[in-house]
């Protein structure tokens, strides 16, 4: 991995919060209860501060070992207490420190929002997961040119079992990027991106294989808009971002994004993009709206762990949606160690198995989100580089997840 060095390595930025319960008591015992509550809260705060320091120190150690430009990380405990840490630089050239509330493109983690929106619509009876996609898209002029258009269901799209190719991997899409077609102030439409897979052979019959497809999630976004009459961003915002107070999460559908860390990639990257994602602080060099419903959000680990805890504990919305959410298919025919549900990767084996979550990669940024159901905690982190990182399965991402989780889980069990 290429190393990024600054003259003065910054300390981690740290914040933490402690949950407090409201207590109603009779006046005669109010003083006693207050004293007990005071010492309880103080003890919890002290324990959280110690845990926060351990968490921040581990992030600092990872930064020193791997020399990525910067990172943010967060945890949420079973009782809802959160902690956030930051290390390194948000902008290497200008020597600007990473802050706990710095934001980065969350890439495919955005799929968790769009897939859950479809689950919400299914709970309301507006759509069925087993609807043929033709129910919603057959009036599109290009629809009959879509691989497996007459056999795929909404569930197939959500679980990556439709057999529809991934436009991001097509030579024509990569060439368009290299030619600078997306270095504009206007992102391509979902239809323009879907066009890269039209008339292509299907990878397999729907339901008979697994292959990750951003193209499938672009179709999910179009279906959300067909069903609701609103933009998919508006649906996610009103259903989840606003009610859960995810104030650091917003659509990455513009060039200027407040609080955005600069991302870094190899100069000779596949897409021919500038090595730095920003041309000015918070202003992208290329339009991130190219992701659409394949990702489509800028976020921060604190928001992501709050979202994970609500989502995977069945509290993100009304209804019993968890069974459908976690009903997974194996991503490999040879092994059932990892499955994929409705917008969720499920790792069955590991030191704290199972885990639910999603990774995210986009040029210049790498993100990871994990929830540990046995411990009712979540961990998330983001790096402002993709150098040496292909996806969330690469060694640096796996080690960061393991070491940060170990700090929190061991402290919980002590």
Q: By C-alpha distance, which of 399, 408, 393, 323 is closest to 358?
A: 393
Tens digits of per-residue pLDDT, 234-259?
999 999 999 999 999 999 999 999 99
Radius of gyration for the alpha carbons in the chain, expressed in angstroms and rounded: 22
d(CA 284, CA 363): 12
Closest C-alpha to 340, from 156, 175, 202: 156
Contacts of 86 (CB under 8 A, 6+ apart): 12, 13, 14, 59, 70, 71, 72, 73, 97, 98, 99, 100, 102
User: Is the pTM above the cut of 0.75?
Assistant: yes
For the stretch 161-171, pLDDT in tens is 999 999 999 99
- The per-residue pLDDT for range 368-412, each reduced to its tens digit, is 999 999 999 999 999 999 998 877 778 999 999 999 999 999 987
Q: Which domains does the chain have, with CATH numbers?
A: 90-413 (3.40.710.10)
Question: Cα separation of 93 and 262, whole Å?
Answer: 10
| Model pLDDT, residue 33 | 46
Beta bridge partners of 49: none
Instruction: Work out the pLDDT band at 353, boundaries 50, 70, 90.
Output: confident
Angle in degrees, 0-180, between the axes of helices 111-123 and 214-228, rounded to the nearest 10 = 40
Question: Beta 355-362 vs 297-299: how paired, if at all?
Answer: unpaired
d(CA 221, CA 209): 22
């Amino acid at each position: 991995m290429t190393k990024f060095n600054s003259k003065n390595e910054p300390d981690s930025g740290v914040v933490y919060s402690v949950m407090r319960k409201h207590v109603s008591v009779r006046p005669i015992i109010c003083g006693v209860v207050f004293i007990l509550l005071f010492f309880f809260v103080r003890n919890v705060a002290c324990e959280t501060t110690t845990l926060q320091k351990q968490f921040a120190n581990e992030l600092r150690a990872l930064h020193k070992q791997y020399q990525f430009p910067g990172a943010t990380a967060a945890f949420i405990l079973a009782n809802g207490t959160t902690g956030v840490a930051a290390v390194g630089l948000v902008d290497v050239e200008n020597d600007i420190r990473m802050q706990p509330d710095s934001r980065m493109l969350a890439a495919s983690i955005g799929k968790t929002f769009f897939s859950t929106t479809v689950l919400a619509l299914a709970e309301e009876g507006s759509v069925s997961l087993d609807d043929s996609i033709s129910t919603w898209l057959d009036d599109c002029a290009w629809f009959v040119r879509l691989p497996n258009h007459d056999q795929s269901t909404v569930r197939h799209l959500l679980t990556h079992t439709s057999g529809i190719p991934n436009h991001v991997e097509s030579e024509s899409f990569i060439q368009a990027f290299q030619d600078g077609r997306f270095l504009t102030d206007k992102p391509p439409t979902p239809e323009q991106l879907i066009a890269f897979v039209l008339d292509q052979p299907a990878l397999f019959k729907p339901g008979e294989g697994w292959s990750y497809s951003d193209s499938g999630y672009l179709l999910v976004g179009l279906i959300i808009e067909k069903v609701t009459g609103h933009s998919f961003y508006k649906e996610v915002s009103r259903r989840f971002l606003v009610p859960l107070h995810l104030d650091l999460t917003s659509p990455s559908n513009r060039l200027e994004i407040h609080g955005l860390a600069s991302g870094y990639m190899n100069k000779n990257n596949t897409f021919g993009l500038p090595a730095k994602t920003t041309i000015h602080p918070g202003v992208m060099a290329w339009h991130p709206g190219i992701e659409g419903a394949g990702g489509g959000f800028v976020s921060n680990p604190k928001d992501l762990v709050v979202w994970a805890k609500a989502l995977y504990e069945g509290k993100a919305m009304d209804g019993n949606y968890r069974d459908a959410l976690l009903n997974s298919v194996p991503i490999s025919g040879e092994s059932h160690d990892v499955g994929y549900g409705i917008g969720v990767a499920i790792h069955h084996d590991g030191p704290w198995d199972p885990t639910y979550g999603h990774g995210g990669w986009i040029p210049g940024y790498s993100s990871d989100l994990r929830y540990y159901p046995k411990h009712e905690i979540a961990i998330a982190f983001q790096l402002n580089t993709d150098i040496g990182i292909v996806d969330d399965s690469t060694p640096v991402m796996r080690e960061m997840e393991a070491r940060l989780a170990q700090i929190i889980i061991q402290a919980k069990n002590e």
